[in-house]
Structure 1
Amino acid sequence: MTLPLPGVPPYAHRRIVEELPDLGYTDVWTGEAAGADGFVPLALAAAWAPELHLGTAVVPVQTRGPALLAMTAATLAGAAPGGFTLGIGSSGPPFVTATNGIPFERPYQRVRDTLRFLRAAFAGEYVAGDFGSFRIEGFQLAALPHPPPRLIVGALRPGMLGLAGREADGAATNFLAVEDVPAVVAALGGGELMARLFVCPTRDVTYARAVGRRLLAPILNARTYSAFHDWLGRGERLAPVRAAWAVGDRAGAQAAIPDDIVDALLVHGSPQECAAHVARYVAAGIDVPALALVPAPEFGGGPEAAREMVRRLSPARVGVS
């Protein structure tokens, strides 16, 4: 399950998180963009349900220094008996530069170099030297977590997927269809594949597609995801979406997304239908499906609505392991 849940402030997650293990959930994951940071929700979850595995998917490498990232991850790993996976990624100019005022430079190299720095730091080494995209005068973690965090890389295309397969423990991805998974797995070449899957548990297809179009239009027009879907073979079908977006026609861009693409990228339907869709991802090669809930009209809003969605989608209830 992805935290935080929609419409739920951090403190109000406690009752929901405490229930997750009994409902059949094994992990909680966070992201980091314009909402909550990637670590505080996981620290709360570690206190409320210590048996859960925790993970970030992903935190950007350019908005924290390598040593601070290592210290934060090591501290959280030490607080998480169920284990911790640190997912790192390049993010992009909207978050790194426009929001944080940091130049977005050499993203592949920065991810690679941060990954190598973290490997050495988590092994207890004294780390110093020129990594390529940054230079470290000297750093050593004062307290090593046991076990150390696992390391995965946010990856969409062969370059970053290949790096994840060679030098990390796996990759994190999202906004892909079931039929896309084999290509991603092949480009990864080894290691665990985690995917965040956006799920709207509603039988109202019209509502789900409207929500899906609002969610997907900015994503499909973002530089990285546009290139991702070109690689996956959707460039021609998404050309009208991009043309409308380029001239500022947001409504036109949403309307131009074909129904079948919305249905492929947003999991929707009854809880059982959603579970079956998620199961198809797993059968195709996703090792860790992390659900990201999208509000549905059947449940209303607020913490109790989110709690009920979590319950209705639980592996224990829908019979999916």
Structure 2
Amino acid sequence: MLYGILAAVSLAALWISVRYIGLRKAIRNSDRELQEITEDLEQNRIVKMSVPCRELEGLLITVNEALEGIRRQKVAYEDREAKLQRQIENISHDLRTPLTAIIGYLDLINTETLGEDDAQSFETVRKRAGMLQRLVSQFYDLARLEAGDYNLDMQEADIGKMLREELLDSFGDMEQKGIQVEVEIPERPVMICCDQDAMGRIFLNLIQNAGRYAASTLKVAVDVHDKITMISFENDVKEMKHEEANRLFDRFYTADPARGQGGTGLGLTISRHLTESMGGIMDAKLTEEDGREWLKIVSCYCSLRDQ
């Protein structure tokens, strides 16, 4: 009798052990499946339970329903984004032609025949029209970049020379704003494969960003190391937070609207898109040095050859 009881207890213990081990393995497998699914939601997969268990199967049903809801939201979001991009592109395209005509007519007006007050008003109108034209162009380019329709003409170029020329053109504006510019660019050619118009656009956006937010100093440097060309724009800032630095590439985000000076929050967004389209990366971080906070925007590209 005792032997039979012991045998039954042993069998029960063995069954529980096997069941426990099987459930642990099944949970690990389900966890691995869930991680794979969340990494690629495009695939219409569900989490399965390899060992029957009513309670855990109920949990997985809830998990799979949540995954399906996330997929539907993702599809709806991407659809809204695609529609918004098309609308922005269409509206921008429709506005560009009349704006170009307006600016052309403004350029034909002989300001010498205007009185002092009228001339000042006319200059204000022309500046505002130019700002609107640039804004429309930014909307249009951003829509094309995000849709993957922005065509690049990739050629070999000396970006050191290009950057020096952009800085030289902007030196007078920086000097008027009291911003000291420090430059470290190698005298030798720094060659990468890029679209020269896009690279010039990136440099101009970075210079304008520094012009808006630099407290007193802008440091520009080009460094080539291990076949990687790194371009850095670093300027001192006042009262910027780390989370603000992380958001600088968000559409329409301006770190300080009161000091934005007409900034739309699109320049850095477009710059990062252009950089990534040319195979590079761009990031920003906030550091502290000499008792001042510095915003450093770095972009990296593959060098064409050892330099």
Q: TM-score range by the shorter chain?
A: under 0.3
How high is the TM-score relative to the length of structure 2?
0.22
**For the pair shown, which has the larger CA radius of gyration, 1 or 2?**
2
By relative contact order (CA 8 Å, sep 6+), the higher-ranking structure is 1
